[in-house]
Amino acid sequence: MSEKTHFGFEQVDVEEKQRRVAGVFDSVADNYDLMNDAMSFGIHRLWKRFAIEQTGARPGQRILDLAGGTGDLGARLSRLVGPTGEVVIGDINASMLHVGRERLLDKGITGNVQFVQANAESLPFPDQSFDCITIAFGLRNVTDKQKALASMHRCLKPGGRILVLEFSKPVAPGLKPLYDIYSFRLLPLMGKFIAKDEDSYRYLAESIRMHPDQDTLKDMMEQAGFEDCEYFNLTGGIVALHRGFRY
């Protein structure tokens, strides 16, 4: 019997999830950043800025930005590590990587950035390759999240850190019912009219609900070997930034 997992609220075979997630991001790649601005009213830029601040990125470091397809985190990290450092932008989806490569070329960012098509569950890098690993709004789309966290831990240098920026569970009083209305009624409509893709954004709303809550993800990071794990709730817990270290 094939192993099952969830694709949004559906139960599907593992192989089918990977294929369908790829289809979602093939579909949304060209409008991904535009939809991020529309969906979050621009607040995603503040979430990402906070994540960048928590990386502690310094000149000469080597940083892996996973699910970094469109390159918005990678562009900022490349400035922080400077010409003696390197940012590797990894994404499982070729369409997203293509969009990111074109955008960074347009900005003149080429010297210290490379793009690698990579599955987070089995990263194609040697042990202890990176000073920092970031993954923003990508972990919830990974089929085996525990396996991916273990792979990231393997690739971190001692003293390195991981930052996971992801949608989470609202904790502010009264926020959840409003967030549900927004997610399941307004978000698919925005996808329909802005990105011409209602189904993909319905999946994205469902995938957020299936993602582990703040404390569960913290426990998973600790199981993967990370230490001093903590999280920061942003915008009432709609998004959380988790941070952990490898010692």
Distance CA 83, CA 131 (A): 16
Domains annotated on the chain, with CATH: 4-245 (3.40.50.150)
Q: Would you say 150 is a known binding-site residue?
A: no
- Residue 120, marked binder: yes
Among 201, 132, 208, 202, residue whose Cα is nearest residue 166: 208
Q: What's the rounded Cα separation, in Å, for the pair 130 and 158?
A: 9
- DSSP assignment of 167-215: E----STTHHHHHHHIIIIIHHHHHHHHSS-HHHHHHHHHHHHHS--HH
Contact call for residues 85 and 62 (beta carbons, < 8 A): yes
Residue 215, classified by CB atoms within 10 Å of its CB into exposed (0-12), middle (13-18) or buried (19+), is exposed
pLDDT of amino acid 28: 65
State the pLDDT at residue 29.
66
The verdict on pTM exceeding 0.85 is yes
Q: Is 134 annotated as a binding residue?
A: no
Give pLDDT, residue 117: 95
Q: What is the pLDDT of residue 2?
A: 60
Please name the residue ranges forming H helices in 32-163: 32-40, 44-55, 72-81, 94-106, 145-155
Choose among 228, 67, 240: nearest CA to 159. Answer: 228
Distance, C-alpha 65 to centroid of its chain: 9
Tens place of pLDDT for every residue, the chain, 247 residues?
A: 567 787 778 787 877 777 777 776 766 667 676 767 877 888 999 999 999 999 999 999 999 999 998 898 999 999 999 999 999 999 999 988 998 999 999 999 989 999 999 999 999 999 999 999 999 999 998 999 999 999 999 999 999 999 999 999 999 999 999 999 998 988 888 878 877 778 878 888 889 899 999 999 999 999 999 999 999 999 999 999 999 999 9
Q: How many residues does the chain have?
A: 247
**Tokens (6 digits) for 35:** 């939809």
Structure token digits, residue 27: 């579909």
